[in-house]
Structure 1
């Protein structure tokens, strides 16, 4: 049964039946599997992005995923290769630019970002058979996710998480106080380069679900929300994963039962959680002034 005029399945309010219907299609099973992998990896990497105040770097890497995918399609290869190639390359460029001053880094990064975005639209114009491709690349889709793509996402995601597990403690130290960490022999510069490469790989993963314009939201909003709610690193990280997972799976469900882009739902759900967290912190502060426990202090981000 479909919604009149939209072609989307109708929500029957029988949750068991609705989910059985949705998961009876292999492409939806693949979408939920891929979404789970992307949510976990994006959440863990995004938590460090917010903590390290590298949201501009994350935005740049997500933006260049668009020309990467468009260029790959123009060359006749899978967009997946374009995502990973240009996202990781952009991360390495940002790492190289970090040797200069902050102003120089921002200016050069912004200039390269603008040029690559323009190149992406040129690639889509040259490839006349792309049709719906720009919308899919920019705003994401759950259609056409294959088992091989899920496997690739799982392998890449496992590598990213494994490396983060190895460097997690020194990276946390270097993120909170890089000067003290450097004084104690922590390789702050090397950790920064490795983390940016991991950021590129995670962005390439998430872009295939949320689209290149909205991957930044999935990577940043859950982490920002969690760090509003608690200052404890372990609890904050776990909450970030939970929020990203919920936003992705709820977004997939909403997108299946509507004709609108997946990325819109994922971003809207995540943003709603952020607003609720801000409201909770404000309410807790008011109650705290009345003599009740105040909200936990936010981790610097």
Structure 2
């Protein structure tokens, strides 16, 4: 399997992104921000389509739109759950905008499919370098603000008293979320981002009792989904995205059922 360059590229990207998602997902689920990752992914679709229209790569277009949306959300302090109708309206608008950009760019349907559902085996060496650079930057940033993130996301009341720049921490995290959504979309697509950004962390919550345990378990669950998904996709020639999302869903459901029966 690894004798093929495209599989080596896919494995590297899957590993890097799984580690990042395992960490980010813990904080996203702790603050119930899954809704925001979904909304950002819809915005990212229109950004990727915009990128094709103006001659950028889909990833660069997605990064531009999602980071811009994160800045808007952070400056308006929009981290509380939106109403379902508002989320639906925002998602529908940006999905429609994405379709418009694809039409203007005269892109083929395969571009739309890759953006919406991912194409990990189509990752190039340049994509590997760009994704690894972004993920590495986020991981280094997490190391520097880890203590503040723990306070802000697991003890928000205490954080308001002990951390002077909690608003800045929120803004930084939103930008990190936007970067994560953009690069995760390269694996599972814009529509299924939550499969890697929330499901592993949600499953870890049934087992872990500390933040460190949650992060370790979340990373393990994310790696299991991407590694096994890649292997099964290679064996069956079926979409890797299907296997990744299915495995992560199974891990979550099994974790939930085991804990429920124990209690």
Name the TM tier (shorter chain). Answer: over 0.9
1: CA distance, partners of 2:234 / 2:69: 33
1:81 corresponds, among 39, 60, 67, to 60
2:250 is aligned with 1:281: no
**Structure 1 residue 253: deviation in Å?**
1.5
Q: Secondary structure at the match of 1:132?
A: helix
2: CA distance, partners of 1:178 / 1:269: 33
2:33 is aligned with 1:43: no
2: CA distance, partners of 1:104 / 1:65: 18
Which residue number in structure 2 is paired with residue 196 of structure 1?
174
2:162 is aligned with 1:162: no
Which residue number in structure 2 is paired with residue 235 of structure 1?
213
Which residue number in structure 2 is paired with residue 132 of structure 1?
110
Is there any run of 5+ residues in structure 2 with no aligned partner, and where? none
Q: Cα RMSD (Å) of the superposition?
A: 1.9
Structure 1 residues 190 and 235: alpha-carbon distance in aligned structure 2, compared to 1, 3 A threshold: same
Structure 1 residues 99 and 254: alpha-carbon distance in aligned structure 2, compared to 1, 3 A threshold: closer
Which residue number in structure 2 is paired with residue 295 of structure 1?
none
Segments ≥4 residues shifted beyond 4 Å? 102-110
Q: Could you say which structure has the larger radius of gyration?
A: 1
**Does the aligned pair in 2 maintain the 1:139–1:262 contact within 8 Å?**
no
Is there any run of 5+ residues in structure 1 with no aligned partner, and where? 1-21, 286-301
Which residue number in structure 2 is paired with residue 220 of structure 1?
198
Of stretches 205-214 and 129-138 in structure 1, the one that deviates more from structure 2 is: 129-138
**Does the aligned pair in 2 maintain the 1:42–1:218 contact within 8 Å?**
yes
**Does the aligned pair in 1 maintain the 2:115–2:186 contact within 8 Å?**
yes
**Does the aligned pair in 1 maintain the 2:37–2:193 contact within 8 Å?**
no
**Structure 1 residue 237: deviation in Å?**
0.6
**Structure 1 residue 258: deviation in Å?**
2.9
**Structure 1 residue 168: deviation in Å?**
1.0
Which residue number in structure 2 is paired with residue 174 of structure 1?
152
Q: Secondary structure at the match of 1:283?
A: helix
Q: Secondary structure at the match of 1:229?
A: coil
2:235 is aligned with 1:267: no
**Does the aligned pair in 2 maintain the 1:83–1:207 contact within 8 Å?**
no
**Structure 1 residue 58: deviation in Å?**
1.3
Q: Secondary structure at the match of 2:120?
A: coil
1: CA distance, partners of 2:60 / 2:78: 28
Give TM-score scaled by structure 2 length.
0.93
Structure 1 residues 132 and 245: alpha-carbon distance in aligned structure 2, compared to 1, 3 A threshold: same
1:96 corresponds, among 55, 75, 81, to 75
More helix by share: 2
2:36 corresponds, among 57, 75, 96, to 57
1:122 corresponds, among 79, 94, 100, to 100
1: CA distance, partners of 2:202 / 2:92: 26
Which residue number in structure 2 is paired with residue 298 of structure 1?
none
Which residue number in structure 2 is paired with residue 72 of structure 1?
51
* Deviations, residues 180-203 of structure 1 (Å, cap 9, x unaligned): 211223422111100000001111
